[in-house]
């Protein structure tokens, strides 16, 4: 459920008409709902009630400072995957002991920054990285808390580009080698083992792959404990999917996910961390765009809109579906038209939908791409020299621009000219 609903035929973001925001900030833009962000965070928090837990928002899904502050105020931790994300989390006021650092290629510079600023744990993804964290920690005279990310070789049954838990993926160490790697970790004086980490992919629409992976982690927990390691924490990753296509998909709910986690891992007396990103931010955001032209092709109608693949790359990159709806609903009774909905970028891949049935639209009409809150703005680029589009946050009857649209001049002035020109 989200808070983008129609009232008398007009799409609202909470209590604000979307058309009013469009008039104020221009199109295209991203618009997020505070109530939806908060609701989704609480769903996870409540799903794990009764076990010691921390919900660490995977901020790569949407990392605007205002979004981070909204979630941090509810007690969220953060899962960060770069020095830049760590800096964003700290700037948003998240304490270091609520930040976990994931990612396959942490540099020594990033490791040192994070150790100096405070960190809950590093999720270590390889032995060379483990050595690097140890070396930096020893040099700084501190001890780095770590988990090792294990790769359970489980098929997440999701898009190949966002599956991370099979042996052919670059993530984690094979679970079959975990005991050996933990023995090595225990011998390194700059490290303190605190738990195990696993994350098998994103946009999972079934619980079974999670459960398979978590059963393997439960078994490993008992083996590692019998080897003498202190396993006080299990980081279960993120990945729970969202219903991009409302008409025909219903992924498991956080409550069902939480119940499974308690059933599979509840007996271990460990603290549980989860790292949801998409499920918190995805349906909490829309991208609003305006129709520039309606163009009749040989055998189809094109809706050429002012948003493009550089603003929302998911359809081009993952063949992803976004529900696309008119901001002002048409009069009832009009026959739907099938449109190819495309952006202005000079690539055929700049196509949001093909043959999508919509009520008839005309130049100047506003449309909204639903479920665009996660992996939307954060993946945007300035391809075709299209400035990054603004982000707006709504709360009740208020809205605020939380990242403004840069001017052409600002965009150009980031380049510098060498002395020989």
Active-site residue among 31, 56, 108, 346? 346
- Give the whole-angstrom CA distance, residue 119 versus residue 139: 17
CB atoms within 10 A of CB 374: 26
- Of 62 and 394, nearer to ligand PLP (C-beta) is 62
- Give the whole-angstrom CA distance, residue 208 versus residue 161: 20
Residues between 235 and 264 with contacts to ligand PLP, criterion CB under 6 A = 237-239
Vertex 116 angle, CA 112 and 121, to 5°: 80
Q: What single DSSP character describes residue 286? A: E
Stretch that binds ligand PLP, among 58-66, 226-234, 322-330, 345-353 (CB under 6 A): 58-66
| Residue 339 Ramachandran class (φ > 0 left, ψ -120 to 50 alpha, else beta) | beta
Nearest 5°: phi and psi at 369? -90, 115
- Binding status of residue 202 toward ligand PLP by CB under 6 A: yes
Burial class (CB in 10 A: 0-12, 13-18, 19+), 411: middle
- Give the whole-angstrom CA distance, residue 285 versus residue 290: 17
Residues between 274 and 293 with contacts to ligand PLP, criterion CB under 6 A = 275-279
Half-sphere exposure of 230 (CA within 13 A, CB side): 7
User: Of 291, 274, 289, 272, which is closest to residue 369 (Cα–Cα)?
Assistant: 289
Nearest 5°: phi and psi at 418? -65, 155
Nearest 5°: phi and psi at 342? -130, 155
- Of 69 and 159, nearer to ligand PLP (C-beta) is 159
- For residue 17 the two structure tokens come to 């008409």
* 278 annotated binding-site participant: yes
Supply the minimum distance, in Å, between the C-beta of residue 85 and ligand PLP: 11
- Of 78 and 305, nearer to ligand PLP (C-beta) is 78
Supply the minimum distance, in Å, between the C-beta of residue 335 and ligand PLP: 38
- Binding status of residue 165 toward ligand PLP by CB under 6 A: no
Supply the minimum distance, in Å, between the C-beta of residue 277 and ligand PLP: 3
Among 3, 40, 53, 60, binds ligand PLP (CB under 6 A): 60
The 79-98 site mask, x for binding ligand PLP (CB under 6 A), equals x-x-----------------
- Give the whole-angstrom CA distance, residue 400 versus residue 395: 9
Supply the minimum distance, in Å, between the C-beta of residue 121 and ligand PLP: 12
Q: Is 346 a catalytic residue?
A: yes
- Binding status of residue 106 toward ligand PLP by CB under 6 A: no
Nearest 5°: phi and psi at 337? -115, 145
Supply the minimum distance, in Å, between the C-beta of residue 199 and ligand PLP: 4
Supply the minimum distance, in Å, between the C-beta of residue 274 and ligand PLP: 8
- Of 61 and 196, nearer to ligand PLP (C-beta) is 61
Q: What is the DSSP string of 358-404?
A: ES---TT-EEEESS-SSSSGGG---GGG-PPPPEEEEETTEEEEEEP
Among 3, 53, 120, 199, binds ligand PLP (CB under 6 A): 199
CB atoms within 10 A of CB 28: 24
Among 61, 90, 303, 320, binds ligand PLP (CB under 6 A): 61
- Of 53 and 278, nearer to ligand PLP (C-beta) is 278
- Binding status of residue 147 toward ligand PLP by CB under 6 A: no
* 276 annotated binding-site participant: yes
* 239 annotated binding-site participant: yes
Helix ranges restricted to H, 141-207: 178-186
- Give the whole-angstrom CA distance, residue 302 versus residue 343: 10
* 404 annotated binding-site participant: no
Supply the minimum distance, in Å, between the C-beta of residue 297 and ligand PLP: 36
Residues between 317 and 346 with contacts to ligand PLP, criterion CB under 6 A = none
Residue stretches of the annotated binding site: 239, 275-278, 314, 318, 347, 375
Q: Residues in the site for ligand PLP, rule: CB under 6 A?
A: 58, 60-61, 79, 81, 102, 199, 202, 237-239, 275-279, 374
Which residues are catalytically annotated?
A: 346
Q: Output the known binding site for pyridoxal 5'-phosphate.
A: 239, 275-278, 375
Which residues are annotated as part of the binding site for substrate? Answer: 278, 314, 318, 347, 375
């Amino acid at each position: 459920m989200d808070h983008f609903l129609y009232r008398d035929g007009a799409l609202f973001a909470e209590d604000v008409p979307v058309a009013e925001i469009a008039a104020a900030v221009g199109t295209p833009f991203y618009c997020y709902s505070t109530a939806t962000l908060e609701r989704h965070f609480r769903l996870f928090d409540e799903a794990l009630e009764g076990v010691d837990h921390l919900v660490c928002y995977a901020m790569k899904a949407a990392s605007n400072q205002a979004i981070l502050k909204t979630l941090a105020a509810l007690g969220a931790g953060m899962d960060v995957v770069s020095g830049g994300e760590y800096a964003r989390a700290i700037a948003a006021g998240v304490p270091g002991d609520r930040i976990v650092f994931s990612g396959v290629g942490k540099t020594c510079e990033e490791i040192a920054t994070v150790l100096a600023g405070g960190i809950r744990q590093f999720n270590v993804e390889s032995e060379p990285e483990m050595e690097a964290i140890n070396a930096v920690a020893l040099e700084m005279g501190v001890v780095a808390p770590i988990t090792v990310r294990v790769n359970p070789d489980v098929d997440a049954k999701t898009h190949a580009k966002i599956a991370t838990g099979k042996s052919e993926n670059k993530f984690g160490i094979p679970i079959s080698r975990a005991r050996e790697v933990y023995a090595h970790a225990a011998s390194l004086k700059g490290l303190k083992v605190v738990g195990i980490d696993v994350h098998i992919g994103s946009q999972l629409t079934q619980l079974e792959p999670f459960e398979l992976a978590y059963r393997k982690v439960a078994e490993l927990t008992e083996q590692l404990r019998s080897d003498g390691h202190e396993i006080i924490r299990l980081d279960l990753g993120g990945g729970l999917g969202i219903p991009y296509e409302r008409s025909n998909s219903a992924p498991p709910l956080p409550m069902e996910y939480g119940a499974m986690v308690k059933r599979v891992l509840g007996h271990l007396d460990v603290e549980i961390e989860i790292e949801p990103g998409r499920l918190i931010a995805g349906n909490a955001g829309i991208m609003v765009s305006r129709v520039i032209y309606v163009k009749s092709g040989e055998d189809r109608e094109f809706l050429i809109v002012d948003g493009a693949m550089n603003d929302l790359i998911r359809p081009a990159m993952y063949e992803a579906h976004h529900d696309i709806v008119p901001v002002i609903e048409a009069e009832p009774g009009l026959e739907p038209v099938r449109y190819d909905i495309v952006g202005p970028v000079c690539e055929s891949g700049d196509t949001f939908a093909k043959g999508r049935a919509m009520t008839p639209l005309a130049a100047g009409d506003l449309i909204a791409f639903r479920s665009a809150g996660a992996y939307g703005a954060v993946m945007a680029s300035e391809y075709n020299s299209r400035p990054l589009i603004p982000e707006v946050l709504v709360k009740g009857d208020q809205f605020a621009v939380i990242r403004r649209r840069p001017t052409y001049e600002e965009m150009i002035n980031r380049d510098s000219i060498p002395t020989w020109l």
